[in-house]
Amino acid sequence: MKVLQKFSVRKYGIVTCVLLCLGAIIGGHTYVTAQGTTPSPPKAQSLIQDGNFQQFEPWTFINRGDASSFASLIKTNQGNAMRLVVHVNTPYASWNAQLRQSFRLVGGQPVTISYQARSWNGNEVNLVLQDANGPDYTEYFNKTEFVEGSSWNTYTYTFTPQIDNPTTLIAFNMASETGTIWLANVQVVTGSLTPTTPVAGATATLPPIAQPTAAPTPTPETQPTATPTPAPTTTGLPPAIDSSWKMSFDDEFSDSDVNWGTWQNGGQNWGSGGNGEQQEYLAGECSEANGTLQLQAENKSANGKRYSSCMVNTLGTFQQTYGYFEFRGKIPQGQGLWPAFWLYNSALSGAPEIDVMENLGNNTSTYYATYHSNSGQQQQTYNGVNLANGYHTYGVKWTPDAITFYLDNVAVRTVTSNIYQGPMFLLINLAVGGNWPGSPNASTSFPSTFNVDYVRVYAMP
């Protein structure tokens, strides 16, 4: 149904007529009251639902990829606004990762479309309005933007459709590049946009995602007090790579809870069968606070296991072949504790496995960097500062020819034989007990916490 604007116009002569005619010609609207003043434009009428992703029910996320090309989506509440995050593992056709919703389009009625986006590594966002049911999916509007940088940008367009269509589709296509795209505040309206929306192309008023600026909550008294550590640099690349490497995964852990759309609870207890571990992994032991992921181990039995703890992993949501994988964290201290950050093959075949960092809590001045292949394991032991006294950065650079481990951006070991060439996913866990670390004893403090500041992954050029 077309909407007709009614005007109350006094007879001000030929000048008023000319003004009205010119307004119609250029496609705008002129509003004249009986007193000759110009009031505010009408309020916007939203044509879509849930543009700020509070409920998400009107939206559909379609992932048409396979094992080599897939995306995942999460809804996160950061900076007092809901945002949507899309991770693209391997680039393919842009519509392989598509966010969409149907709505009614009215012909002859100007429509304004606006959304906010950001992407650290740089990604294309293709916005399309098209017929949802037609045999050839007729397009009414198509615009692609290259979104790059940590600041929010706002993209705004206005057009006038020529036909009515009650089954019009708005679609965001985002799978043409590897990396992560953040979306917020999608508007499709008639009339004026809401006043809080920035002008097209300007940096949005939404604040950047909060980065950690202080050390997390202190660990129990028997553990070392954390030394003040500056917040990590959020804009620079790790020294081991250059700008041709693009960020493909990032979690800064600034939410009010774990992003369970990206991470899964490690209830499978990988490794516990042969390692004699004594924990049960529970989602309730995983949380986010003070800008960190907190993996907590407690002296609390669960499902027949002596202790409860936390493991998170990205099996089924993120995997990658080759790249630079990095996390910044603070390990706990205590007999029987076994924190780790590692990569595991997506076939779950026992090996290969890349242990970026493992530590035994009875000696936090030593950590282990290990590559497990089908031909055996190659392990590097690092002895140095007490790693439980503060935050440290652990990384691995994995290429077709070599695997190099890093501690605080310094290479500590390179492996060049039997390099695995298949996809791997991420795991972070705090094991308790087992054949290697031994059981906790009276000196072990519970609860104990493994704090992770961020996890970042970069794809090879």
* CATH 2.60.120.260, applies to 46-190: yes
d(CA 345, CA 17): 73
pLDDT tens digits for range 98-118: 889 999 998 888 999 999 988
Check residue 87 and give its pLDDT.
Answer: 61
CA dihedral over 236, 240, 244, 249, signed as positive or negative: negative
Region of residue 234 (phi > 0: left; psi between -120 and 50: alpha; otherwise: beta): alpha
Catalytic residue selected from 252, 280, 326, 353: 353
Catalytic residue selected from 280, 285, 298, 358: 358
pLDDT tens digits for range 53-109: 777 778 888 776 543 344 455 555 444 345 666 666 556 666 777 889 999 998 888
Q: Read off the pLDDT of each residue in 333-361 and give the average, rounded to a whole number.
A: 93
Q: For the chain, give every domain's residue range.
A: 1-39, 46-190, 246-459
3-state helix, strand, coil split of the chain in percent (to 5) is 5, 45, 50
pLDDT tens digits for range 197-215: 432 333 333 333 333 333 3
| More confident position, 257 or 176 | 257
353 is catalytic: yes
Overall pTM > 0.75? no
298 is catalytic: no
Tell me which residue of 205, 207, 209 sits closest to 180, measured CA to CA.
209
Beta strand 307-309 with 376-383 is unpaired
pLDDT tens digits for range 153-193: 899 999 999 989 999 999 998 877 766 787 888 999 987 67
Check residue 170 and give its pLDDT.
Answer: 94
* CATH 2.60.120.200, applies to 246-459: yes
Check residue 211 and give its pLDDT.
Answer: 31
Q: How far is CA 70 from the centre of its chain?
A: 14
